[in-house]
Structure 1
Amino acid sequence: MKATIERATLLKSLSHVQSVVERRNTIPILSNVLIEASADGAIKLMATDLDLQIVESISAQVEQAGATTISAHTLFDIARKLPEGSQVLLHAAEGKMLIQAGRARFNLSTLPRDDFPVIAEGDLPTSFELPAETLKQIIDKTRFAISTEETRYYLNGIYFHVSDEGQPVLKAAATDGHRLARVTVPRPDGADGMPGIIIPRKCIGELRKLLDEVEGSVAVSLSASKIRFGLGSAILTSKLIDGTFPDYSRVIPTGNDKLLKIDPRSFEEGVDRVATIATEKTRAVKMALDRDKITLSVTSPENGTAAEEVSGAFQGEGFEIGFNARYLLDILGQIDSDLVELHLADAAAPTLIRENDRSPALYVLMPMRV
């Protein structure tokens, strides 16, 4: 294999591909990127961790078609340090690859392409397109609630499913048992009858990075066990989490009759300030609700106390409730409007948080004892 590629093109593509590769691998070939040059002037770069696979196509001057695999992180680091604007020659033969740019030459070991594992997609019966901006919004407003607890593996991703509520919709939800985030968007053509799927956290992270460079729509194809995203020059394929996502609709409160309307920025800043003295054990921030003011306070046995008043419109009888400050800040960080609604019941019941009743995103937060 012999090809010449512009350094910027190679670097951009490698930055996408190498991030799928795990730093520590017991199987040496999984540390490598597959480089496949075809006679028509295209190079395919592929990386996998056996659960997630990315393929990116870039244009190059190909003198000799062929394929080999080489350490992904090493090649990325080399490409990063090569002079800007340089042309990079890749020449693979007899178990070695020569990488040359300007006066720099590297000779690296390769592994045969036949050993490189490829995820077999099988049949992907459901196909539809989603605008890249919609997919970004779904991910940004839900992924902070994905559980990191490995024992509850079925919560380690975002759950996508379709439903009919007066009109056909696609819903995405994530929860870790303490908070829930859900986004509802109009159902795209072709998504009817799709199975409920859980997309793993790592796939979500890689997908979000790639979405920044996609304009227009993303082609989505899926089955009950695999999903594929077509993102311009890149194709991301992932296995799905094999588990059952809990019926989260049961925890979304419908009868919370106490309503607090508040400016999310001043609320967020107030929570952030009083939480400065909170320790890991006492992450709780207490909210005392009154007609026209909310008093936020934190009591820490080690550090002392902090309190701040924030103005807000509250309907209902005054009471006190506590929340994990970090979880509350995560949710408030997703609110784009200048008003947020908190629908409360009592100090022990889950609280519903949203911009308004037309907002596509909805959050549920469990209170803490304070």
Structure 2
Amino acid sequence: MKFTVERAILLKALAHVQSVVERRNTIPILANVLIAVKDGALKLTATDMEIAVVEEVPGVQVTREGRTTAPAATLYEIVRKLPEGATVELDHAGGDAALKLRAGRFNTDLSVLPVEDFPSMTEGKLPHGFALPAGQLRDLVDRTRFAISTEETRYYLNGIYLHAAETDGTKVLRAVATDGHRLARVEEPLPDGADRMPGVIIPRKTVNELRKLAEETQDEIAIRLSDTKIRFDIGTVQLTSKLIDGTFPEYERVIPRGNDKILRVAKKEFAEAVARVAAISSERSRPVKLSIDRNHLLLSASSAEQGQAQEELDGEVVRYEHSPLEIGFQARYLNDITDQIDAEVEFRFADGSAPTVVTDSAKPEALYVLMPMRV
């Protein structure tokens, strides 16, 4: 195998594939990237046995076809540190021979491992398929992934639940995530071909890799899936992932239906006030108390070590027409939700101890549920 390629092109492709490689693993081949040249095209593949990223690299001048593997992190670092505009030559004579990399006056030999040891994750049938504009997919991910649980014992919450559903008689594609303290539910119109898809839980690592790749395109992203695996085709990159083998809880049961006390508050002023008040405490789980009265909101927080802080918001940015209410929330959870909202936050309360519904008044397709804290 022998080819040359511009440094910038190779670097971009290596950045995509090497990010799925686990730095610490007990299987040496999983630290390597598969480099394959066939029919005049270069493909790079990396996997951790849960996710695989395959990228077809354009602009390659092929001298000799072949395949080998090389340490992903090392190869990426070398190419990253080459000067801009450099032309990179990779040359492998076959077998156990080292992979030779040359760029200008620089050259190095990289150890390889047998191609036969490299696992394949991209095989198998994926009977369900549809496509989403990249912007819609980014929106689904951004508005839900903050609520993914990191508690490994509840592994079925360690991802985004993607499924077809109905809202007021309209079919939608729905993404849901929850960690037991907050829940995020976001909808987009159901794309053609998605009506019979199984409900699937996409793992957190896959979600994060998908979001990075989706940032680089405005085109549609093709999605194919089965009960156990999902694949995203994003331009020249193919991301394949195993799905979480578990049952997502019946989340609709925890979404309150009768919350009738409505608070509307400007997002910017509210988020900034929460951040200032919460700064009194260094605890990650610090609570912020909301004391709500007619068109008036008082935010307060206290710390045994640091003291207390409060800030008032009035009728210029607050609308509330119900009986007085006091309720507390974890500051970080409040900020995570308000980060998803553009202009005005709408809270729907039942009382000071019941789950609260939070929505974006400009985007009703997104709904959040937040559990209160005792303050």
The TM-score bracket by the shorter chain reads over 0.9
Q: Tell whether the 8 Å contact from 1:39 to 1:63 is kept in structure 2 after alignment.
A: no
| Deviations 1:126-154, CA, capped at 9 Å, x for gaps | 10001100000000000000000000000
1:97 is aligned to 99
Shift of 1:358: 5.3
Runs of 4 or more above 3 Å deviation: none
Q: 1:281 to 1:190 in 2, by over 3 A?
A: closer
Aligned-pair identity (%): 57
SS where residue 180 of structure 1 aligns? strand
SS where residue 359 of structure 1 aligns? strand
- Partner letter of residue 109 of structure 1? S
Q: Which runs of 5+ in 2 are unaligned?
A: none
2:177 to 164, 174, 178: 174
Q: Tell whether the 8 Å contact from 2:285 to 2:331 is kept in structure 1 after alignment.
A: no
Q: Is residue 2:338 matched to residue 1:332?
A: yes
Shift of 1:120: 4.6
2:269 to 266, 270, 273: 266
Which runs of structure 2 are paired with 1:74-89 in the superposition (5 Å)? 74-89=74-89
Give the Cα–Cα distance (whole angstroms) in 1 for the partners of residues 285 and 155 of structure 2: 27
- Partner letter of residue 54 of structure 1? V
Give the Cα–Cα distance (whole angstroms) in 1 for the partners of residues 363 and 116 of structure 2: 53
Q: Tell whether the 8 Å contact from 2:284 to 2:332 is kept in structure 1 after alignment.
A: no
Scaled by the length of structure 2, the TM-score of the pair is: 0.96
- Partner letter of residue 35 of structure 2? I
**Count of aligned residue pairs for this structure pair:** 368
Q: Is residue 2:55 matched to residue 1:50?
A: no
| Deviations 1:308-340, CA, capped at 9 Å, x for gaps | 00121112110210000000000001101x212
Shift of 1:347: 1.0
**Greater displacement, 276-285 / 4-13:** 276-285
- Partner letter of residue 174 of structure 2? K
2:134 is aligned to 132
Shift of 1:282: 5.7
Q: Is residue 2:362 matched to residue 1:363?
A: no
Which runs of structure 2 are paired with 1:1-370 in the superposition (5 Å)? 1-40=1-40, 42-59=41-58, 60-93=60-93, 94-165=96-167, 166-280=169-283, 283-311=286-314, 312-336=318-342, 338-356=343-361, 359-370=364-375
- What is the RMSD of the two structures over their aligned residues, measured on CA atoms? 1.1
SS where residue 334 of structure 2 aligns? helix
Q: 1:224 to 1:294 in 2, by over 3 A?
A: same
SS where residue 22 of structure 2 aligns? coil
Give the Cα–Cα distance (whole angstroms) in 1 for the partners of residues 340 and 231 of structure 2: 27
Q: Which runs of 5+ in 1 are unaligned?
A: none
| Deviations 1:258-310, CA, capped at 9 Å, x for gaps | 00011011000000000001232761000100101100000111111000001
Q: Tell whether the 8 Å contact from 1:161 to 1:197 is kept in structure 2 after alignment.
A: yes
Give the Cα–Cα distance (whole angstroms) in 1 for the partners of residues 52 and 64 of structure 2: 26
- Partner letter of residue 25 of structure 1? N
